[in-house]
Structure 1
Amino acid sequence: MTGAVLSTHGLVARYGDFQALYGIDFQIGQGEAVALIGANGAGKSTFLRAVMGLLPVASDMVRMGGQPIGGTPADRMVQRGVAIVPEGRRLFTGMSVQDNLRVAVDQADRLGRRGGWSLSRLHRLFPILNEKARTPVQSLSGGQQQMVSIGRALLCQPTVLLCDEISLGLAPKVIREIYAALPEIRAQGTSVVLVEQDVGLAQSASDRLYCLLEGRVTLTGPSGSVTRDQISQAYFGGSHAVV
């Protein structure tokens, strides 16, 4: 792909002496949605952490707009235009919905990030966040908390949005509501990386997908062209296939 917004090149990541990623090559274009699928422990969340600067990696292993940025601290990654919706949401408990979102607005202002996301636009995307503005986040349902987490990331005005298991533990109706917001998120050119356990959901919500197994890419291709048999083989073993 020419003109990739974000790419990795032979990305290797470790937790101490344990190697979790082995030479991952990945790229995503402007406004594209790319899914990362794979079983638990495949390295999907580790990949996001490595890209986000939460794990030490060599600078040339992660590039944005062709510029090496690997190992850049997470706050500076936000400044460069990369934001993450972390697994487990990690909201500021004891604070209201509004205050959690204001933290992101203030961070974007401090870092000089400008973009199309405002509190009012976010409230149109997820009206419940306006209705629950003064509610402590720990009193929300899981789905509502996930909307706060997504909203907080959007208010950082990302060029690339990393989403780590945003459907995990949620009711099907809530999952549909959250995924229905993706087209608007992408409409202004935001690229979305989706780590997702639900293969069908990952395929329907993305343009392309990568399957990981034990820290290696075992399948890449357009989401609409990859078959369930190919995915099954990639999930459980087999050589790297490009569709």
Structure 2
Amino acid sequence: MTTVLSTHGLFAHYGDFQALYGVDTELHQGEAVALIGANGAGKSTFLRSIMGLLPVAREMVRLNGEPVGGTATDRMVQKGVAIVPEGRRLFTGMSVEDNLRVAVDQAARVGAKGGWTLPRLHQLFPILKEKARTQVQSLSGGQQQMVAIGRALLCQPRVLLCDEISLGLAPKVIREIYAALPEIRATGTAMIVVEQDVGLARSASDRLYCMLEGRVTLTGKSADVTREQIGKAYFGAGHGVV
């Protein structure tokens, strides 16, 4: 398998507070990897470190074998990595289409090339065409999440980082969003999905990593790891299953 993204002894800090302790991971081409763990485990920090939003040593993050740790976020987008951030972070006061066109313009500006276009995105999430002229703050949470995913896809990523894309959404909407992930992967895009719902994470991924207090406590094929293993890794030895 071709490794497209990997971390090597990844450490990360917020000022004097250390949030990650020597995290080793790898992501293969076209693969979906779930990152699970309780609040404060370091999952979002891990994604932020990859995207250049936290200072890390260059050798700690590699993209297609190239050291890219600490690379500026816009350069990471240019290199083919995009993120769907926790909380969506859309441009309020702007329409759905204008939010998406920001990504189209950014991709054009940095020379990112790929197969995602507005018409193709409308096929994936038809509601985005219907709501094209609606301001994003007027959308439901699920519709806003679709805009956030669409914005990331229009950056033409080869690696897509998804941070808590089910957070606060109704079960029906979560199923609709997760049903779109196989089509995204079919383009060859590899994905890291941060998810607190362990069952959802396992069903949507090939492999998983569990984090606890900034460290990886379990890794394996999603279909093979047991609930008992996950429970111990999620909460620490001595705790029950999840």
Interval of TM-score (by shorter of Structure 1 and Structure 2): over 0.9
1:157-236 correspondence to structure 2 within 5 Å: 157-236=156-235
**How big is each residue's C-alpha offset from its partner over 1:100-131, in whole Å with a ceiling of 9 and x where there is no partner?**
00000000000001101000000000000000
Indicate the residue corresponding to 1:61 in structure 2: 60
Shift of 1:236: 1.2
Counterpart of 1:149 in structure 2 is 148
Partner residue, 1:115:
114
Give the Cα separation in 2 of the matches to 1:8 and 1:71. 12
SS of 2:208's equivalent in the other structure is strand
Q: CA deviation at 1:3?
A: 2.6
| Matched residue type, 1:142 | G
Would the aligned equivalents of 1:21 and 1:46 in 2 still touch at CA under 8 Å? Answer: yes
Matched positions, count: 238
Q: Once the two structures are superposed, what CA deviation does each residue of 1:220-239 show, in whole Å capped at 9, x if it has no partner? A: 00000011000000011149
In structure 1, stretches of 5+ residues that fail to align are none
Deviation (angstroms), 1:198: 0.2
| Sequence identity percentage | 80
SS at match of 1:60: helix
Match of 2:3 in 1: 4
CA distance in 1, matches of 2:109, 2:51: 19
Matches of 2:2 and 2:23 in 1, distance apart?
A: 18
Return the alpha-carbon distance in structure 2 between the equivalents of residues 21 and 238 of structure 1.
20
1:188 Cα deviation after fit: 1.2
Indicate the SS of the match to 2:113. coil
Q: Quick one: distance in 1 between partners of 2:141 and 2:111?
A: 31
Give the CA deviation at 1:50. Answer: 0.3
Aligned residues: CA RMSD: 0.9
TM superposition outliers: structure 1 runs of 4+ over 4 Å: none
TM-score by length of 1: 0.97
